[in-house]
Structure 1
Amino acid sequence: MNTRTNDKVLVPQDQLTALGIAAFQNLGLAPNAAADVVKILVLADLFGLSTHGLSRIESYGSRIQVGGINANANITVDKPAAGLRLVDGDNGIGPLVGMHALRAAMEAAQDCGIGMAFARQSNHFGPISPYGLIAAEAGFASIIGSNATTTIAPWGGTDARVGNSPIAFAVPNPAGRHFLLDMAMSVVARAKIRNALKAGSEIPDTWATDASGRPTTNPKEALDGFLLPIGGHKGYGLALMVDLFAGLLSNAAYLTHVKSWVDAPDEPQNLGHFFILIDTRKLGSVQWLTERMTDFAAILHDSPPADPARPVIQPGEIELNNLARQKSEGIAIDADVLRLLQQYANQAAGVQPSA
């Protein structure tokens, strides 16, 4: 049963999953491929990351329809060394390429204790924290990253040459809450700047620059300019390192070689990802890791909060709280997204849904 709250609809996880799989199958994906994609996107929605959840069917679907994404990608995995995997995504839909790379890195880590997968010829693969959770549930600590379309100027520069490339870290707690840190390289998302423009309010001058590279408090100038990286020049350096691993070393596109899916939706992006996994079972027993991870979290939680209404938490707790609540109550999905999913799921395969 679906429940409506304002412009959101609460849908049980199993129903939303089935609807998403049917929608992606009608976009041309094989059943197993559609299930992989929906697994990541539904986890994003469960975490409360709705901008990176099943709402992505709008951009993914339109790009498939115009040939920018290959719905029938033949994804291959090469093994150049015992702990290394090279994944060619064949311009497949990003979460599908991501799941292939995750499984490849898991296999390598099981064999060697630590494994790494480089993926190329991919597209936007959703948020990283769902991959981190899947890895953590299987006993793996992880470092995962992806490059992205350029929206950040080089430090001191005046044009967009660096991607807002995300990186994430996860460490499992076998009997508790996993540590999950997922972050992009900009101080804020462009959506927050757009919201400030709609509200007619200024923004902090640490969020973005204007088109000339000067910090600005004007949201219109910021949207015409560039996002600022976290930590100033340090965030800039970190963004470059993510792109070196995800793009350059994976033999994918990097920096300005990455195509914009907005400006060129019918062209392959050739995004790259990297997955570094550590099999924690090779380090010690489940009890050993549980005790240390529980103590780690307790040290943080026991810090007296500056604001009593906001106790200290460790990264991932908000997302895992959202996941537990929405598994029980249903996933809050935007009504327009639900309608689009239903249109794709109920149409004849390969037909563009009406606006």
Structure 2
Amino acid sequence: MNTRVEARVAESEWSSLGNQAFRALGLPPEAAADVVKVLVLADLFGLSTHGLSRVESYGERLRSGGINASANITTVNITPGIRMVDGDNGTGPLVGMHALRAAQSAAKACGIGVAFARGSNHFGPVSPYAYLAAQEGFASIIGSNATTTIAPWGGSDARLGNSPLGFGIPNPDGKPFLLDMAMSVVARAKIRNALRDGQSIPSTWATDGNGNPTTSPAEALNGFLLPIGGHKGYGLALMVDLFAGVLSNAAYLTHVKSWVDAPDEPQNLGHFFILIDTRQLGAAAWLSQRMTDFAAILHDSPAVDDSQPVIVPGEIELTRMAEQHTNGIKVDPNVLRMLRGFSVMQD
């Protein structure tokens, strides 16, 4: 049974604690600020498994040298619309923010721009990047490859990662649409949380080591995640890895190192950021009117269950963010104690 009690922390304090933690782990101030921006947005969206709780796993790899705290991230302009970012084995969200800015620069110049990143690590969820892009008027398609946790369709061992893929569409006068999904039915972090809390899992989430569906989180962590939509999810995961790993000249499939099994070795993850400058498509009022109408058509569909009205992608996360801006971020007390421990270390 889950008996954890959540605490509430003001957004400014949560960000300050995150910055202190990453600076204590060796990141320069500007780099720490980039990392914290992504992870705090994840917490604001309610994605706590990918928020500042990641200080623990990132910190282990930073201390062991598996992640380069002093990464010299470089960007090369391949063409006016294509950027190549070398993350120098830096912290994933830091590399992700460099790639996001590179793609924005390319899209401003050409209307559409893409940045490929290599030499990176786990970069958090996609939605914070898509949100930041949307705030600047960019539509986005963003993805990353990942450590192998999914078997090929019909295969019996892990050969591809649970690669996240996301989309964002800005709304100049309202909430952007944000779709952020991994290629498995659930993220591996949810299975770890179920194990920690002593809970079983649905049999549709994962298999055991022999490829049989299981309700045991322990067996699932020793087995494989199940892809969304069966063979279709498998195909999508491959395409994300082709864009993120192959085209970026990063590692791909089984060439990606596991941050769990080899925390002291570089992962060489790859990411891609495809951005469209919607301001070059038409006036803000034009897009706002169309986005508002688009959402209204969906919202106006009579709900099967009145307590669960129709929503659009990103609506839940953006509502959570607005509530937590006002009332403070819901955090795990154990994570709060961990972060405050870094503050004590700096005193």
CA distance in 2, matches of 1:81, 1:113: 13
Q: Counterpart of 1:23 in structure 2: which amino acid?
A: A
Partner in structure 1 of residue 168 of structure 2: 170
Q: How far does the alpha carbon of each residue in 1:63-94 deviate from its partner, in whole angstroms, 9 at most, with x for none?
A: 11111110000000000101000000000000
Question: Which stretch shows the higher mean deviation, 184-193 or 157-166?
Answer: 184-193
* Contact map agreement 1:23 1:346 (CA 8 A) in 2: no
Partner of residue 69 from structure 1, selected from 67, 70, 94: 67
* Contact map agreement 1:87 1:101 (CA 8 A) in 2: yes
Partner in structure 2 of residue 190 of structure 1: 188
How far did residue 222 of structure 1 move?
Answer: 3.2
Partner in structure 2 of residue 79 of structure 1: 77
Change in Cα spacing, 1:219 to 1:124, as seen in structure 2 (3 Å) is: closer
Partner in structure 2 of residue 48 of structure 1: 46
Partner in structure 2 of residue 256 of structure 1: 254
* Contact map agreement 1:24 1:345 (CA 8 A) in 2: no
Change in Cα spacing, 1:28 to 1:141, as seen in structure 2 (3 Å) is: same
Q: CA RMSD in A?
A: 1.7
Q: How far does the alpha carbon of each residue in 1:241-278 deviate from its partner, in whole angstroms, 9 at most, with x for none?
A: 00000011100000000000010000000000000000
TM-score, normalisation: structure 1: 0.93
- Identify unmatched segments of 5+ residues in structure 1: 350-355
Change in Cα spacing, 1:196 to 1:343, as seen in structure 2 (3 Å) is: closer
How far did residue 46 of structure 1 move?
Answer: 0.4
Change in Cα spacing, 1:301 to 1:13, as seen in structure 2 (3 Å) is: same
* Contact map agreement 1:13 1:330 (CA 8 A) in 2: yes
Partner in structure 2 of residue 10 of structure 1: 8
CA distance in 1, matches of 2:216, 2:57: 28
Change in Cα spacing, 1:148 to 1:76, as seen in structure 2 (3 Å) is: same
CA distance in 1, matches of 2:135, 2:235: 31
Change in Cα spacing, 1:346 to 1:88, as seen in structure 2 (3 Å) is: same
Which structure 2 residues correspond to residues 1-355 of structure 1 after superposition, within 5 A? Answer: 7-193=5-191, 201=200, 203-204=202-203, 206-217=204-215, 219-348=217-346
The size of the alignment, in residue pairs, is 344
How far did residue 215 of structure 1 move?
Answer: 3.6
How far did residue 212 of structure 1 move?
Answer: 2.7
Q: How far does the alpha carbon of each residue in 1:152-185 deviate from its partner, in whole angstroms, 9 at most, with x for none?
A: 0000000000100000000001101110000000
CA distance in 2, matches of 1:259, 1:11: 35
TM-score, normalisation: structure 2: 0.95
Q: Counterpart of 1:203 in structure 2: which amino acid?
A: P
CA distance in 2, matches of 1:201, 1:58: 24
CA distance in 1, matches of 2:4, 2:212: 40
CA distance in 1, matches of 2:296, 2:323: 22
